[in-house]
Amino acid sequence: MPSPHRVVIVAFPGIEVLDVTGPAEVFSVAARVGGAGRPGYRVQVATADGGPVVTSSGVRLMADLALGDVAGPVGTLLVAGAVELVDGGVEPVIDRDVTNWLRRAAPRARRVGSVCAGAHLLAAAGLLEGRPATTHWLTAGRLAAEHPGVRVDPDPIFIRDGRVWTCAGVTSGMDMALSMVAEDHGQDLALATARMMVMYVKRSGGQSQFSVPLSVQSCEDDRIDELRMWIADHLTEDLSLEALAARTHLSVRHFSRLFRQRTSTTPAAYVEAARLEAARRLLEDSDLSLPEVAAAGGLGSVETLHRVFRRRLGTTPAEYRRRF
């Protein structure tokens, strides 16, 4: 029996506790679900001095070893993240001891990843230079500004670029860990692990940190809220301005004004965004051809599919599928 895959999660004071325990639990459950016939995982938490750290919630997290004692092969090296409130804003915490250690240790690990604002530590260690990366949407702008060599994309819940993974944080660290399990042992074990943890396993890397229905403010008018939910289930139907206005029993002019007031976007832009989100899911989760994706997502033609992807995402549908 091969040795278990070693996972080392780096923690420091102020981290989000779920950034550590979320991925750790995924790997632990995967090892149990996989049974004796698989090598499984061995998870260790490492801190600067090997002592406990106090997380952002006040929970004390015990460590298995000190950073300096991490010797031998490491299959997966993850660094958790921490943020602090400064002058009413949110800033990532950069732990210099961790950053300096990452520069030396990360090249020896088979796979390296960050959870949430941990991407800022990977970037500070030079590990994201020239790579696409994501982080929590609250600090993505800061990451891009401080590290112009990193191709920051604040939208996906996680991104893999070769051996380097980054994710949006909090629960998305569990989604990233599930994808790592799938890479190591296949989709069947990842699915079984997700079922055991009562997780929604279809959250693949390209999924937006905000789905279209959640990306606009809550509506005070039930008619608009109900319409938005209806749109998500009827993307292939006639969703023209006139048809939507008729469905709400309002004049086109009044409907258009009310929809923009309640959602801060136009009906046409909202429909296009909802159809784009559906097309993204189909490209990630199915083997449908591009014409089939365009039709099922309500975009109609491949030409429209390409045009919307280019304008809104700056890429082609084929490149998006390859990436995610």
**What pLDDT sits at residue 314?**
81
Closest by CA to 105, choosing from 10, 4, 2, 3, is 10
DSSP string, 6-57: EEEEE--TT--HHHHHHHHHHHHHHHHHH-TTS--EEEEEEESSSS-EE-TT
CA distances to 13, 15, 70, 122 from 63, rounded to whole Å, are 12, 13, 12, 21
Domain 5-196 bears CATH identifier 3.40.50.880 = yes
CB 264 within 8 A of CB 216: yes
Q: CATH 3.40.50.880 residue ranges in the chain?
A: 5-196
User: How far, in Å, CA of 303 to CA of 298, rounded?
Assistant: 13
CATH number of 212-324: 1.10.10.60
Closest by CA to 19, choosing from 94, 111, 118, 89, is 118
For the chain of 324 residues, list the mean pLDDT of each consecutive stretch of 10: 89 95 96 85 97 96 97 96 87 95 96 97 97 93 95 89 91 92 89 85 54 52 83 94 94 93 89 92 89 95 94 87 76
- Indicate left, alpha or beta for 170 from its phi (over 0: left) and psi (-120 to 50: alpha): left
Does the predicted TM-score (pTM) go above 0.75? no
CA distances to 104, 112, 114, 158 from 127, rounded to whole Å, are 11, 9, 11, 16
User: How far, in Å, CA of 299 to CA of 291, rounded?
Assistant: 10
Q: How many residues does the chain have?
A: 324
Residue 221: Cβ within 10 Å count: 14
What are the start-end ranges of the H helices in the chain? 17-34, 96-105, 118-124, 140-146, 172-185, 187-196, 222-233, 241-247, 252-263, 267-285, 290-296, 302-313, 317-323
Estimate to the nearest angstrom the gap between the alpha carbon of 16 and the chain centroid.
16
Q: Is beta strand 132-133 parallel, antiparallel or unpaired with respect to 83-86?
A: unpaired
CA atoms 162, 111, 25, 100: torsion sign: negative
CB 63 within 8 A of CB 11: yes
**What pLDDT sits at residue 223?**
84
Q: Which residues contact 232 (CB under 8 A, 6 or more apart)?
A: 212, 213, 274
User: How far, in Å, CA of 255 to CA of 241, rounded?
Assistant: 9
User: How far, in Å, CA of 47 to CA of 40, rounded?
Assistant: 23
**What pLDDT sits at residue 144?**
95
User: How far, in Å, CA of 5 to CA of 28, rounded?
Assistant: 11
Q: CATH 1.10.10.60 residue ranges in the chain?
A: 212-324
